[in-house]
Amino acid sequence: MHSTSSQPRAAAGSSGADRSRGGGAAPSRPPSQRPRRGVPLRRLGRTLLGAARAPLSALRSACAALRCQLGAGWLTLLLIPATVGGILVVTQAPSAIARRILLDDMSAKALIWERRVLSLLNGGAEAIRGELLSDEDDSELHLYTRVTDIYRMRVFSAQGDLIWSSHHPDERSGAALIDPGAFEEVRAGRVVATLDDKPLSEVDRIDEALAAPSATRKVSEIYVPVLGAGGFVGAIEFYSDVTRSWSALLERLRLMVGALVGTGLAILYVGIGWLVRSSRRRMAEMRARAEADQEAMARQVRMARDVQLLGELNEWLQSAASLDELFGMVSRFLTHLLPEAEGAIYVYSNSRDVLDGWAAWNGGEVRDHIRPDSCWGLRRGRTYTYGAAEVNFACEHTEPHDGRPYFCFPILAHGETIGLMHLRARPGETLASFRSCQRLAQMCAEQISMAIANVKMRDQLREQSIRDPLTGLYNRRHMGETLRRLIERSRRNEEPVSVLAIDVDHFKRFNDNHGHDAGDLVLRAVAEVLDAAADGDAIACRPGGEEFTLVLPGLDTRAAAELAERIRSEVAALSIRYGDHTLPRITISVGVATAPEHGLTVADLLSAADAALYRAKDSGRDRVEIACTDAPPAAGSVTALPKRQGAAPAPAAAGGA
């Protein structure tokens, strides 16, 4: 603890002005207001009306309680601050008062010590001005520190340099050892006094062997200005051990202040106790009624908030474009709607053999996949509550289970189970508080179920609009949109985009000789090969008829041509059974074009790939041709890749495509 007293030289015994620091508080920001979205007006109105009635009832109860208390109420309100204030006074006031008294007393003593020190010096203050202390002065000063309460003394020049010290000869080096701030006060002619707790090792003339190693002493450190004929000539610093004086004074002050505060608090307690006892029974009734009204008000306010959030959740879910976006919204809203629960949501996969984990909130754990038979809620077809019965069975998807209660809500849409919402009580939540959110969680599950069904329906309709119904590949419209987007990205990132134009050789012959069903079987077999070859961002498309297109982002001409040759070989190796016989060998012709080498637009790139495809047809079919970068080549100058060894070209029959 450190305390400083600064006093004018001419009035060393008077108390100085206290200095304190303070800071202004930063202006508070206005709370953000979120725009209200679509909320069912009738339901919200009823909820808000109930929320408005609850505070009126609570206000009536509070007024009745106030009339009951009359004069006792305001005294009761004073009890806590009076007690806290009394404790603070007993614990803090004696120390502050003792410090003030002791500093004033030591400052007065220091002025007497200063006059006696100057009287011991040959030349008085002029000896300090000239920084010339004789051996006789040194002896007198050392003797003075031994016969007084001063255990250490230092003399400073007008510039703040040390010119004499009783502590150790090495300190007399002329170095500035005085605190600059304190010295400025002393230079102005004021006495500066501080009171510190110092380790025993820093206090002279104390037997350390009789005290604990960590013992401290209360030490006063006082700077007294030395004034000569010409004004300020230096300063004298006195160190004095005031531990005994401090302890005795502090003990007396504590007894006095404690007695006064205790007497006052006793009178206050007796008076308040007498007033409270006379109205305790009626006050208890009023308090119970007020608490009930307050709980009702809290429920109404929370219900209004929940209704508003549910309305906002419903509006946002209706605008979700994908399941990823939808469950991102769900996670954020349920964090606020269900703060007492951690949860996860699972949705049935397309195969309906597993449920895929999609979202989690409030620290909930979500697994990648769970089986439908691992949840009692799904197996029983209704909400399952763990922890509500005397005998409980944990779902397999919750293992290892830590015993916390949980809900499993099957998510239903149009009478069909489409997913599962799992809620588990957060650590520290009781079963009663957790079960209070069941109805709200059920409402959330209902809204989420309809949103999931709508998104899936939109995805299904969109998928149908961009897929070829026969082969399952993308159609011409989706191919054009995707290729346009990839070419734009290719321009920005300077990456190639390749296109394979593919045509089934002699497909008309299959239809004429084996029927349209056999032709459809051939198209589906070729589509499977192309779909398997479309890795990553690549897409396989069927623009129409026996024509196929493979869009390959990131592949240059050579890599695309190598992939085309592999696809040609895999198609040639197909063996397709139709009825009781095997269809003839299938071959394809492929044209390869790459942006920006062969075109910078969708039309140019597809035209270049088609031109290469036609050259492959003209060159005997069952081959891969690369588009030319210049004008179309003359007959015979065809750029072709060698066919796989051992694969014979299909005969060019008249009338076949």
Concatenated DSSP letters of 120-177: HSTTTHHHHHTT---HHHHHHHHHHHHHSSEEEEEEEETTS-EEEESS-GGG-SS---
How far apart, in whole angstroms, are the C-alpha atoms of residue 72 and residue 268?
Answer: 11
Q: Which residues contact 483 (CB under 8 A, 6 or more apart)?
A: 497, 499, 551, 602, 605, 606
Residue-level pLDDT at 212: 61
Q: What is the pTM of this model?
A: 0.44
Q: Is the omega angle on the peptide bond into residue 596 within 30 degrees of 0, that is, cis?
A: yes
Residue-level pLDDT at 556: 92
Sheet architecture: strand order including 624-626: 539-544, 547-553, 497-504, 588-595, 624-626
Residue-level pLDDT at 657: 46
> Tokens 């003593």 — which residue?
109
Q: In angstroms, how far is the first alpha carbon of the chain from the final one? A: 101
Are 347 and 355 in contact by the 8 Å Cβ rule? The answer is: yes
pLDDT tens digits for range 426-472: 888 887 888 888 888 888 888 888 888 888 888 888 888 888 888 89
Nearest to 633 by CA among 646, 619, 620, 644: 619
Concatenated DSSP letters of 373-401: GG-HHHHHTS-EEETSSSS----GGGPSP
Are 286 and 65 in contact by the 8 Å Cβ rule? The answer is: yes
Residue-level pLDDT at 68: 56
Domains annotated on the chain, with CATH: 91-202+213-254 (3.30.450.20), 319-453 (3.30.450.40), 467-626 (3.30.70.270)
Residues of the chain short of pLDDT 70, as ranges, are 1-78, 168-178, 205-214, 275-276, 630-657
DSSP 629: S
Residue-level pLDDT at 22: 37
Q: What is the dihedral of CA 591, 592, 598, 602, to 10 degrees?
A: 80
- Between the alpha carbon of residue 69 and those of residues 74, 147, 537, 635, the distances in Å are 9, 68, 78, 112
Specify whether the backbone of 162 is left (phi greater than 0), alpha (psi in -120 to 50) or beta: beta
Are 222 and 106 in contact by the 8 Å Cβ rule? The answer is: yes
Q: Which segments of 279-369 does DSSP mark as H helices, in order? A: 280-318, 323-337
How far apart, in whole angstroms, are the C-alpha atoms of residue 370 and residue 117?
Answer: 92
